[in-house]
Structure 1
Amino acid sequence: MDNETLWLFIKVITLLPLILVMAYLTIKYGLSRAGGAAMGSKYMRRVDHLPLGPKAGLTLVEIGGRYYLVACQENHVTLLKEFDALPEQINTSGIGTDSAVHFKEVLSQQFKQTQQYLAGRRQGKGGSGCQGSDQQDKK
């Protein structure tokens, strides 16, 4: 390596960690303060937000002790409902557990059927697994 290439390599090795640290600090402290200033206010606050797509969502906003449910779209905001008190909280701890158990049972059943089909093929019992088509093949 010549002198100039070595000097460029040393610059990259020393400046890259510095750039990474500056980026980390900007993301951690700079952006959070900017977002907080834009979202925070003495008279209103966003209580909750539910995204419905990349450019749409539902937002629950508190203004002066009252709560408003608004639909936010790309170029449009619509008031859906006004509440005097905060709506009841939805219990999300049990959501999806029934469907997950059901899916596990269906997957297990399908796996067993596939294993039985493959075992039958290994033993020389051809067929598609459908009773009607096996009987037609025999005729």
Structure 2
Amino acid sequence: MALRREGYLTGLADLLDLPPGTTATARGAAVADAIATALGADRCAWHAGPPRWDDPVLAADGSVTAGGRRLPVERTGLPPEGITAIVVTQDDDVLGHFAVTASTRVVRPSPEQLRVAVLLADSMLARRPSGR
């Protein structure tokens, strides 16, 4: 477990150290790959703007909700149909979301893995100029 935790932290540090000229698209792809790895998901992709209204959402506390109800992902896994969104906001503005797909097998991420995924998603805010 300690090695996994160290790997998460090393991966996050590497993401935060991307070259200053890195485009939002390249940063999004790198962060998406890290999120998919951290969660054990099939894939993850960055999309500008908010997710669909009915997509399950992974919150900052590591909970996954859909339709106002908490989903027991520790028992049932991430929803296999569609995506689970990790929304990235700055102030009250939705900058985009990561669409996590876990459709080929049951993926039951730990609470720690879920929180790491949110932390990784928030790295999209790194080096973003304020006032934009």
Please classify the TM superposition score into its range, dividing by the shorter chain length: under 0.3
Q: TM-score, normalised on structure 2? A: 0.22
Larger radius of gyration: 1
- TM norm structure 1: 0.21
